[in-house]
Amino acid sequence: MNTGFSLTGKVALVTGAAYGIGFAIAEALAMAGAKICFNCRGEKHMADALDAYRQKGIEAHGYFCDVTNEDQVKRMVSQIEQEVGVIDILVNNAGIIKRIPMTEMSVEDFREVIDIDLTAAFIMAKAVIPGMLQKGHGKIINICSMMSELGRETVSAYAAAKGGLKMLTRNICSEYGGANIQCNGIGPGYIATPQTAPLRERQPDGSRHPFDRFIVSKTPAGRWGTPEDLMGPAVFLASDASNFVNGQILYVDGGILAYIGKQP
């Protein structure tokens, strides 16, 4: 049974894996035996990430690349193939969110979110699928969101991008499932990361942040998720254990999407 979850010898590319959720997923894939590649756009992030991987005992391969730039992506994938091997696993994790009311959001801001959160996943998948076709197998994991299913104030661009990413996931499955390529998504709930830390800070009177209280009250698990909560699902979807799972979104949200909430 354990061999079904092994990634020994596999080459994994995780975008935006310098820190946070992407780093945790890359760490999990490495623990399962995969060779890890990731991208960055800044020198400081790259240096910090490589040092963090070294501290974990992981020999990660870092590449400077803007995943919204198709030429840069093609060069990165070609370089990885030459230096590490043909990519077996792609995790499209890179993303941004801009919390701006829709009528106040510029078209430029909307397009930037769509470009990074959706178009980049298309560019990345397009670049790695030919190698997967040659190898006769491949795994693509798109990091979606609960906003693939739900709307919320101020996240119109993000929700539109993640909803589109859900459908891109299903369409890659539809086009390439017959070639033994599985494309699935992970939909994290609210995850405790440095980026969400301000939403969990104690108030001056010692009480919990209102948003913190709101999320915990809506989550049957009664807590925020952690990046570690995503490690097992990522290994499952990257491994042979999920070879007959395709076009699905695995929501790792502590049960929020299943819960209507307590009666007031």
Residue 225: beta bridge partners?
191
Strand 35-40 relative to strand 11-14, pairing:
parallel
Question: Of the residues 63, 158, 176, 251, which is catalytic?
Answer: 158
Output the CA–CA distances (angstroms, integers) from residue 185 to 181, 251, 258, in the order listed.
13, 8, 18
Q: Which residues contact 13 (CB under 8 A, 6 or more apart)?
A: 37, 38, 39, 77, 80, 87, 89, 90, 91, 124, 128
Q: How far from each other are the two terminal CA atoms of the chain, in whole angstroms?
A: 46
Q: Provide the 10 A C-beta neighbour count for residue 194.
A: 8
Rounded to the nearest 5 percent, the helix, strand and coil shares of the chain are 50, 15, 35
Clarify whether 251 is annotated catalytic: no
Catalytic site positions: 158
